[in-house]
Amino acid sequence: MSPITIGIIVLVGFLVIMFLGLPVPISMMVSAIVGISLMRSPGAAFQAVASDIFQNFGSYTLTVAPIFGLMGFLASYSGIGESLFNVADKFIGHKRGGITSAVQVASAMFGAICGSIPATMGTMVTVALPEMEKRNYEPKLSTAGIAAAASLAVLIPPSATMIIYGVTAEESIGRLFIAGIFPGIMLMVFQIIAIMIVVKRHPNYAPVAEKSTWAERWAAVRKGGLVEVVIIFMLSVGGMFIGWFTPTEGASIGAVGMLLIGLIERKINFTKLMTALVASAKLAAMVFFIITCGTLFGRMFTLSTIPTQLAKFVTTLDVPVWVLLGIILIIYFILGMFIDGIAIILITVPIFSPILAGLGYDGIWYGVLIVMVLILGGLTPPVGLNCFYMKGFCKDVPLSVIFSGVWPFVICIVLAMIIIMIFPPIATWLPTVLFGL
């Protein structure tokens, strides 16, 4: 059999065993070993496994993910997420739908020191959902609003998803982080506007609450973790922006800074510190293993020559390049409804990156679009993973209610993607200014 035929058979086999329930990383590794064995030899396949495990688990670049994860765990255990929500709630929570809007702001700020959707969602469910239930918010607004807000965590830097994309596509993680700032802020604003429109059409979804005094607002600012978040963000991500640190060094500075803040304010004790360290170690093992399996899978695809042949075929099509980009994004959207975003990146980037590079698309801009389309897929049925996460946190709310409330936020994401596609500098201008060409 030709390498292309073997590659197609292995891809079909991978999809079959994945949907039968075998974990995605294991499915990728097994498929890669079979494919490389058929195209080369079993010895070459297992040598590739050993080589990729050694390289990825010993990679300095990949340490940025678990270290930023540690910073996020420390922030979660120190109660900063709750404090950020309280600040936003004091300023805009009295408006109709204000608590859901406050969740958008708090999630964006918490995402700036976390980068994880489940962590952000869990924090906001804990601190915001009881308040919305107490004020008789419509469940479809409250639950869907939290699910959409948590998605901002993978667009606002530092983002675990962008780290995985940067490593897989061999793009600068620092440039990717910076590229997500303006799109993340834009999407947050769009979602707040969507909430305002929804509650204007359905006033019963969110009653008006009592307005906080300015004294209460400034007291919340002083005690609300906002200053701490700004300091940590400027030290870790800001220092990386201006060239003081590499991404890994920036993550380390942020983690140490968050630990010091937690110790000084007596919000982190030895037990919480050990829990955070264990959680970050588990995260490191998971990230390294997933990337290793994805690397093997990409190696198998390279040997099959499928990406090269597909790129040649695409470049011969007599259609505008934006049509090809649209087709690829639709594929990502469909996959995002069924598969975790990190797994999708590891599966598809080795296939699509050569095609898009040949068409002249900027890899940083394309990375931002990928993250946004994965966010979109995570909110839409039939298997929108973010909505399933939300269901896990809110067992008494039917999944159908959560899905019924996400559509205004889905429209926001689609609109933001269209704007970024029309005006790429929204994502590329700041990285170009800070890092140059």
pLDDT digits (tens, 9 = 90+) for 349-358: 777 777 777 7
Q: Would you say 158 and 68 are in contact if contact means Cβ atoms under 8 Å apart?
A: yes
| C-alpha distances out from residue 432 to 160, 173, 297, 323, Å | 22, 14, 32, 26
Structure tokens of 224?
């609300």
Determine the residue type at 140.
K
CA–CA dist 43, 123 (Å, integer): 47
Token digits for 433?
């200014």
pLDDT of residue 437: 53
Dihedral over Cα of 429, 430, 431, 437: its sign: positive
pLDDT for the residue numbered 77 = 74
Say if CB 108 and CB 184 are below 8 A apart: yes
**How far is Cα 173 from Cα 247, in angstroms, rounded to an integer?**
7
N- to C-terminal Cα distance for the chain? Answer: 44
CA-based R_g, the chain, Å: 22
What's the whole-model pTM score?
A: 0.77
The Cα–Cα gap between 113 and 10 comes to: 39
Predicted confidence at residue 416, as pLDDT, reads 93
CA distances to 390, 398, 399 from 395, rounded to whole Å, are 8, 7, 9
Decide if 351 contacts 127 (C-beta within 8 A): no
Which residue, among 192, 202, 6, has the nearest Cα to 93 in the 3D structure?
192
| Domain chopping of the chain, boundaries | 59-268+305-435
d(CA 318, CA 75): 51
Q: Do you find a cis peptide bond into 354, omega within 30 degrees of 0? A: no
CA–CA separation, 321 and 352 (whole Å): 13
Residues of 396-431 as b/e, b for ≥16 C-beta within 10 angstroms? ebeeebbbebbebbbebbeebbeebbeebebbbebb
Is residue 344 within 8 A of residue 332, CB to CB? The reply is: yes
pLDDT at position 226: 66
38's tokens: 């058929």
**Mean pLDDT in consecutive groups of 10 residues from the start of the chain, 437 residues:** 84 81 80 89 87 78 75 75 76 82 86 76 82 86 90 83 82 85 93 92 83 76 69 75 75 82 80 83 78 80 74 69 78 70 74 75 86 84 76 82 90 91 88 71
pLDDT at 197: 92
pLDDT at 434: 72
Q: Tell me, what amino acid is at 266?
A: R
Contact in structure between 103 and 150 (CB atoms under 8 Å): no
Beta carbons of 135 and 209 less than 8 angstroms apart? yes
Cα torsion 248, 251, 257, 258: sign: negative
